A and B are shown apart, each in its own frame.
Chain A
Amino acid sequence: MKPKTLERGLFATLVALLVLFDAWLIFTRRLPRGHDTLSLSYVLQYLFLSQSAAGGGIPLWLPYASHGILTSWYVGMGGGLFQDALLLVGVRPGANAQVLFTLGQFVEELLLLVGTWRLGVHFFRSPWARFFVAASVVGSSIWAEQIWHNHRAVIAVPLALSLLLDFLETGRRRSLFLGLNLLVLQFLGNIPYTAVLTILVTVTFSGVYAIVFRRRLNWSAMRPRPVDAAIVLANAALLAAIAAMLTSGTGEVAFRQQGRTAEGTVGLDQFLTHAGGLDPVRFVDLALGLSPLRDYTLYVGAAAIPLAILGIALRPGRKALFLVSCVALVLLLSLGYLSFVAMIAYYAAPPLRFYRYLCTAGVHVRIPLLFLAGLGIDGLLRHAAAGRPARKGAAVALALLGLGCFALIPEIFQGELTRLVQTPVAMLGVSSGFDRPDRVAGVLVGAGLAALAGAGLIAAAVRRPDRAAAIVALLVMVQTADLARWRIELYRHRTAPLTPEQFAAQECRPLPYIARRSFAPADDVRARGLGPDFFGSAAVYDVTENFIPRDPPAAAATAPFWMSSTDRLLQAYARTESARPTVWRGAPVRPPYDKILGIAADKLQVFRAAHAVENAAELMNRAEFRGDVLLIDGPTSPLPSLSADERLAVPVEVAAFDANSLRVRVRVPERAWLLYCDAWHSSWRATVNAKPVPVSRAFLAYKAVPLETGANEVEFRIESPVRVWTFRLAALSALLWVAGVLGLTVATIFRKAA
């Protein structure tokens, strides 16, 4: 077979494998069991798509999380290239979020695949080596319950790196522009600090490459040109737009997270040690596939490490030096306080001050390590008779690994291993299912068989160097099958199939209006069906309430932040400056706050008048205050008795509702005020009978508007042109990248010349 045909065939095989895998996820209707993938990434995606499907554009507000919060930071965390592209072109009503989520994952995997394949051109001549590396990188970069640290953190690294290396070698500006652009877009679909680490890792790898291959680089072509200013400015503008999209309006957010400052940064000690799990023994997972944690895995296939060592021995050149240096730097970074790399990085790269899960940085070891293993494959093919001791060593190491896996199985059933790996690790949750000996044994048997098969094949390569090509092909197949086995096993354990009823509930539907806050579970298929199976353990966040949907006074889950208006109400209720919304959880909310919070009364309340006061917190805590006098912020005016009842018992009809707006109809016999117990923010606007009215801050936290005598049609709407237009700009870039990735995939399969 011609090398070009072989190359295209191998690439097409990988695409087909990905299609098969994602088709399996769609047709078996699988959804990750809880934790960040489900309770933030998926839930946010559902909410964004639903709002778009209902024709409301992007949601700027989430009404059922801590009494209403901005979506600013969540636009980045919940999105992703595919989702943002979809939001730009519009989502069909009734589209199924589970299918779209899986398709988004497929596109991201294609990005990783295309990037790895292109990057392989810089390192390998043999298509088999490229296939090996691409299959291993794509196969290992996934983890059902934690999509950010394992998947989204790495998907762009190979392509961005290949573009930057292309620029370094040829001086091609297009590559520089695209590389920087892809890095900037890492803030879509990621936690901002994960994106920072991704960018840092890619830039560091490029820097190491420039140092190691300094003589190969085209320095003259890299001399500054006028077009460089345009490249930098264009990407800086996109970065600024994304920053505005993520942070606009967040000046009115209350953020109190242990270990973080009000700005969200962490001190050096937190940076170096937060979440623990720094012990390098965790890198055993590279060869065993036995991550005891929910948040990340390092598995790269049983044969990868011996092949990487073989790569160093058989191809001891600058490529090996570059890759080993990258592995060492990332590995040491992930050791936190145990090495100085993290300490220097903290001061050398100030954006890293937002990062505090250093142990998870270990996932970036995978790409350079697998490229080293690719050198091993290349070495086996190109130096068929060389390095016999190294080959023998690799075969023996793999055989020992395989036998070791089988030897561990009795220990697992006696509970020894499980006890060992479940030593307390602060913050990082222990993986679900790791206490199931059968599952652990299944993983070990798979890894052991793959290791033994790999050992046999490398031993065969020692004895029959003339059959190197066939043996390498088999070795590559074993590695691919091993990772496919591991991935399917992982998804079988860490996802659960939806029932047809649950699957139907994933269709993008408009957000319903909930009239009153309550702790009672919502009578909805998502609440009934998904609750215990999917949200029963690990991290759950307050935004999930919008998905279920229900509107409790305090989320049963983590509230990362809330609006500063809500915070004032919290402080008044708790009589302390450090209260969190959890004070409203559990015990009944005391009167008159039960009415004010929309628990004992509906969230839409009508009052005869509103009274401007400067000391609302103090008045609301007086014994005579019963919550029946509407207090709004402003210079103090004459007050009636605080025990008076100024409520008007008139019906309020909700005419329309979505995340960004509420339209109601209310008829009042005299001039009155409408209170909407949803957090106040300066971006909210209101009209009464199509006339703009100011939105007052009532009871410290909520929104209130004056009504006219007679019929009123009131519309509350959150407006933020900055956020909308910056999102559109970012989404346009995402759309172009999705098209580009699909185009590159097709071109790689069908092109005739390199």
Chain B
Amino acid sequence: LPRQRLWIVLLLLQASLTVFLIADSRLGVLPALELLGGELLFGLGVWLLARGFFSDPRTVFFVTAAALGSSLGDKVYAALPLLVFLGRRFVQTGSAAALFGTLALAALHAWAAPHGLFFLAPIAAAILLWSAGHRKVPLTRSHIPALIGGFALAVAVAVRIGRGAGEAPEPMSWGRAFLAFVGLDAPAGFLDLFIGIAPRRDASCYVGYLTLAFAIVGLARLDRRMEVRSLAVGATLFLGLGLLAATSYVLLPSLHSGRPISVVAPLLKLFLAFLAGAGLENASRKATAAVATGLICLAIALSAASLRLQVEPRIPDRAAALFAPGAPEVLSPIFQSSTVCEFLDTSALWAAVAAGLLFLLRSRPRAMPLAMALLLFLHPLDVFSWKFRTTWVRTAREVQTR
């Protein structure tokens, strides 16, 4: 399949979400276009970055579909993949344009990022670049205009952020802020990786069952050095950014105005999407079979949970408390018994489909083309269906009144 066609498929899917939001009066035209812009920036970054990691266009498509389909317009990291891509470009080629692009994008991103969390994406990009371990490029005279341009933009951003300081304080202790920013105030939220119901309003970990499956397969296939390195990068991102966010929260009153979002969830998803790409390109029969069996068990568990909920409708209240203890306002509106059951059963269905595909993939070489074709067809259906339904549940149709 030509690479461009695959990218167009993703563009169309993302654009159709925007059309749906506008046509159904769920979002104004400008906010919807703004959302589309952010998502396209994110998607384009993932696509370009993935092209650097994977040679097979199908893997690039798979990774981008996973990242874009599971993104719910997370502004904090919208520019991160493109930042890393441009940074890598600069490090690899010494291109002044790439340097200017990196700095400008970092500054512009900081301008748009909510609640003053402007520093997270550039820092995350820096950590990822550092982990990539490329050679250093000496700065030359040709880089000076790019540096000046980037510096000017950074000053403008600083002025803007300085003007926003001192808003409604809702102080938390440093420790609590740290837990909140890394999502450990309600660790059950990470279960969303396996259940796909997006229980919280502020973030979700769902990346699609095929992404999850291939991420596990990918982790199993990495050599020990790569494995340690990946985990180290993940832990650094996880803890370092949470630490920074919590410290900033305590020091910058402007951060108090917004709800502490889960800092790690979007990064976790991005990380898993790329890991799944590695898994897809290096799948072993043994690991695939084990993961497929696990997915079957997961599907059964999800169905059983749904059946249990049908019988005891009070369970969602208790489960809801797990996902957001003491903060019911961050719970997703799906926490009504029938909706939760529908979500759980849909997740069970997708887990079973993913398991079936993995079994087909490992069955015999003759089945590989069919398995890959189905993978490329069903994977976007899974993640984008999740994205559409989550958006549908979280938005309401604006009633037209005169």
Partners in one complex: yes
Residues of A within 8 A of B (CB): 267-269, 272, 276, 278-281, 283, 309, 312-313, 316-317, 320-321, 324-325, 328, 332, 335, 337-341, 343-344, 347, 387, 389-390, 419-420, 423-424
Contact B19 A337 (CB under 8 A): no
Residues of chain A with a CB closer than 8 A to B24's CB: 267-269
Look across to chain A and name the residue whose beta carbon is closest to the beta carbon of B393: A337
Contact A267 B389 (CB under 8 A): no
Cβ contact of A423, chosen from B338, B343, B367, B384, cutoff 8 A: B338
Q: How far is the CB of A739 from chain B (nearest CB, A)?
A: 41
Cβ contact of A340, chosen from B16, B311, B341, B369, cutoff 8 A: B16
Contact B20 A338 (CB under 8 A): no
CA distance A317 to B370 in the complex (A): 6
Residues of chain B with a CB closer than 8 A to A324's CB: 374
Residues of chain A with a CB closer than 8 A to B377's CB: 325, 328
Contact B20 A343 (CB under 8 A): yes
The 8 A-B pairs with the shortest beta carbon distances in the complex, nearest first, are A340-B388, A339-B385, A316-B367, A316-B370, A281-B345, A279-B342, A280-B349, A338-B346
CA distance A268 to B341 in the complex (A): 22
Look across to chain A and name the residue whose beta carbon is closest to the beta carbon of B363: A313
Let me know if B356 is at the binding interface, CB within 8 A: yes
Let me know if B310 is at the binding interface, CB within 8 A: yes
Q: How far is the CB of B157 from chain A (nearest CB, A)?
A: 36
Interface size band for B: 35 or more
CA distance A584 to B83 in the complex (A): 71
Contact A272 B370 (CB under 8 A): no
Contact B385 A340 (CB under 8 A): yes
Let me know if B378 is at the binding interface, CB within 8 A: yes
7 contacts between A and B (CB under 8 A): A280-B349, A281-B345, A312-B370, A341-B385, A343-B16, A344-B20, A420-B307
B residues 359-402 in Cβ contact with A at 8 Å: 360, 363-364, 366-367, 369-371, 373-374, 377-378, 381, 384-385, 387-389, 392-393, 397
Residues of chain B with a CB closer than 8 A to A424's CB: 338
Known contacts A278-B342, A280-B345, A320-B370; A269/B397 CB under 8 A: yes
CA distance A317 to B363 in the complex (A): 14
Contact B23 A338 (CB under 8 A): no
Residues of chain B with a CB closer than 8 A to A341's CB: 381, 385
Contact B310 A420 (CB under 8 A): yes
Contact B366 A316 (CB under 8 A): yes
Known contacts A332-B381, A332-B385; A347/B19 CB under 8 A: yes
Known contacts A279-B341, A390-B363; A338/B385 CB under 8 A: yes
Q: How far is the CB of B209 from chain A (nearest CB, A)?
A: 14
CA distance A321 to B341 in the complex (A): 30
CA distance A341 to B364 in the complex (A): 31
Let me know if B306 is at the binding interface, CB within 8 A: yes
Let me know if B303 is at the binding interface, CB within 8 A: yes
User: Which applies to chain A's interface (DSSP): helix, strand, loop or mixed?
Assistant: helix
Residues of chain A with a CB closer than 8 A to B341's CB: 279, 281
Look across to chain B and name the residue whose beta carbon is closest to the beta carbon of A338: B346
CA distance A332 to B311 in the complex (A): 26
Q: Mark B329-357, 1 if CB is under 8 A from A, else 0.
A: 00000000010011101101100000010
Residues of chain B with a CB closer than 8 A to A320's CB: 370
Known contacts A268-B397, A279-B345, A317-B370; A339/B306 CB under 8 A: no
Contact A281 B303 (CB under 8 A): yes
Q: How far is the CB of B108 from chain A (nearest CB, A)?
A: 30
Q: How far is the CB of A408 from chain B (nearest CB, A)?
A: 12
Q: How far is the CB of B73 from chain A (nearest CB, A)?
A: 16
Contact B367 A344 (CB under 8 A): no
Residues of chain A with a CB closer than 8 A to B389's CB: 337-340
Q: How far is the CB of B400 from chain A (nearest CB, A)?
A: 11
Q: Mark B286-322, 1 if CB is under 8 A from A, else 0.
A: 0000000000000000010011001100000000000
Residues of chain A with a CB closer than 8 A to B356's CB: 309
Residues of chain A with a CB closer than 8 A to B310's CB: 420, 423
Contact B370 A338 (CB under 8 A): no
Contact A347 B342 (CB under 8 A): no
Q: How far is the CB of B307 from chain A (nearest CB, A)?
A: 7
Most buried by A among B371, B381, B397: B381
Cβ contact of B360, chosen from A316, A317, A344, A419, cutoff 8 A: A316
Residues of chain B with a CB closer than 8 A to A268's CB: 20, 24, 397
> 13 new A-B pairs (CB below 8 Å) besides A279-B306, A338-B343?
A267-B24, A268-B20, A279-B338, A279-B346, A313-B363, A316-B367, A332-B381, A332-B385, A338-B346, A339-B381, A343-B20, A344-B16, A387-B363
Q: How far is the CB of A258 from chain B (nearest CB, A)?
A: 16
Residues of chain B with a CB closer than 8 A to A420's CB: 307, 310-311
Residues of chain B with a CB closer than 8 A to A312's CB: 360, 367, 370
CA distance A320 to B356 in the complex (A): 14
Look across to chain B and name the residue whose beta carbon is closest to the beta carbon of A420: B310
Look across to chain A and name the residue whose beta carbon is closest to the beta carbon of B396: A269
Contact A321 B306 (CB under 8 A): no
Residues of chain A with a CB closer than 8 A to B338's CB: 276, 279, 423-424
Residues of chain A with a CB closer than 8 A to B17's CB: 340
Q: How far is the CB of B394 from chain A (nearest CB, A)?
A: 12
CA distance A316 to B311 in the complex (A): 40
Q: How far is the CB of A316 from chain B (nearest CB, A)?
A: 4
Contact B346 A328 (CB under 8 A): no
CA distance A689 to B119 in the complex (A): 94
Residues of chain B with a CB closer than 8 A to A340's CB: 13, 16-17, 381, 384-385, 387-389
B residues 1-51 in Cβ contact with A at 8 Å: 13, 16-17, 19-20, 23-24
Residues of chain B with a CB closer than 8 A to A419's CB: 311
Cβ contact of A281, chosen from B16, B306, B381, B387, cutoff 8 A: B306
Residues of chain B with a CB closer than 8 A to A338's CB: 342-343, 346, 385, 389
Look across to chain B and name the residue whose beta carbon is closest to the beta carbon of A320: B370
Residues of chain A with a CB closer than 8 A to B381's CB: 328, 332, 339-341
Residues of chain A with a CB closer than 8 A to B384's CB: 340
Residues of chain B with a CB closer than 8 A to A317's CB: 370
